[in-house]
C-alpha cells in the first residue's frame, strides 16, 4: 500500500465567489460533505491524517544561513492558490487516491453545485534521497535536473 497526500486548494473551483458570499446553509453543507467523506475514509482505514492549515496571512517564511534565521511575512502566491489543508491516505493504488481526490473536488458550493475545487495528489516518498544518485533521480521527477 502506498501513501498519498491529497492537497485541498483554497481556490473554490468553477465559482469565483468567495465563501463569505455563501449562505450559512451552503457553508454548512460544504463542511458536512467533508466531515462525511473524512468519516468514510476513517471507517475504511484509508485515512492516515487530516490537517487544516491557517490562511497565508498567518504564515511565515524562514531563511537561515545556519546561524541567524530571518523570519518574514510573505510574499505569498496569489490568494486564490494557497493550500487550505490536506489529508494523507494509505491506499492500494494511485487510482484509489485519484478517486478520493475526485470526491473532494466535488464538495458542494453555492446552491449545492459541486465546486470542482482543484485537488493536488502526490505520492508520499517512503524514504528521502540518501545519496547523489537518489537525489538526481528525485530531481528528474521534480523537473529540477542539474
Contact 34, 107 (CB under 8 A): yes
Report pLDDT digits (tens) over 65-77.
888 888 887 656 5
Which pLDDT does position 130 carry in this prediction?
Answer: 86
Q: Which residue has the higher pLDDT, 32 or 136?
A: 32
- Residue 4 pLDDT > 80, yes or no? yes
Q: Is 114 helix (H, G, I), strand (E, B) or coil?
A: strand
The reported pLDDT for the residue numbered 12 is 62
pLDDT by residue (tens digit) across 91-141? 999 999 999 999 999 999 999 999 998 899 999 988 888 888 888 888 887
Q: Using an 8 Å Cβ cutoff, are 124 and 3 in contact?
A: yes
The CA angle 3-63-130, to the nearest 5 degrees, is 40
**Residue 60 — pLDDT band, cuts 50, 70, 90?**
confident
| Widest Cα–Cα separation across the chain | 53
Lowest mean pLDDT, pick from 12-21, 64-73, 137-146: 137-146
Amino acid at each position: 500500500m502506498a501513501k498519498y497526500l491529497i492537497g485541498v486548494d483554497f481556490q473554490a473551483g468553477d465559482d469565483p465567489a468567495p465563501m463569505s458570499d455563501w449562505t450559512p446553509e451552503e457553508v454548512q453543507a460544504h463542511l458536512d460533505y467533508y466531515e462525511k467523506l473524512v468519516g468514510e475514509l476513517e471507517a475504511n482505514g484509508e485515512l492516515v491524517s487530516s490537517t487544516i492549515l491557517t490562511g497565508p496571512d498567518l504564515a511565515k517564511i524562514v531563511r537561515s544561513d545556519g546561524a541567524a534565521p530571518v523570519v518574514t511575512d510573505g510574499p505569498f502566491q496569489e490568494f486564490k492558490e494557497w493550500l487550505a489543508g490536506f489529508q494523507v491516505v494509505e491506499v492500494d493504488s494511485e487510482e484509489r487516491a485519484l478517486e478520493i481526490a475526485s470526491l473532494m473536488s466535488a464538495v458542494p458550493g453555492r446552491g449545492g453545485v459541486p465546486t470542482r475545487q482543484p485537488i493536488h495528489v502526490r505520492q508520499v516518498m517512503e524514504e528521502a534521497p540518501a545519496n547523489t544518485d537518489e537525489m538526481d533521480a528525485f530531481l528528474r521527477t521534480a523537473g529540477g535536473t542539474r
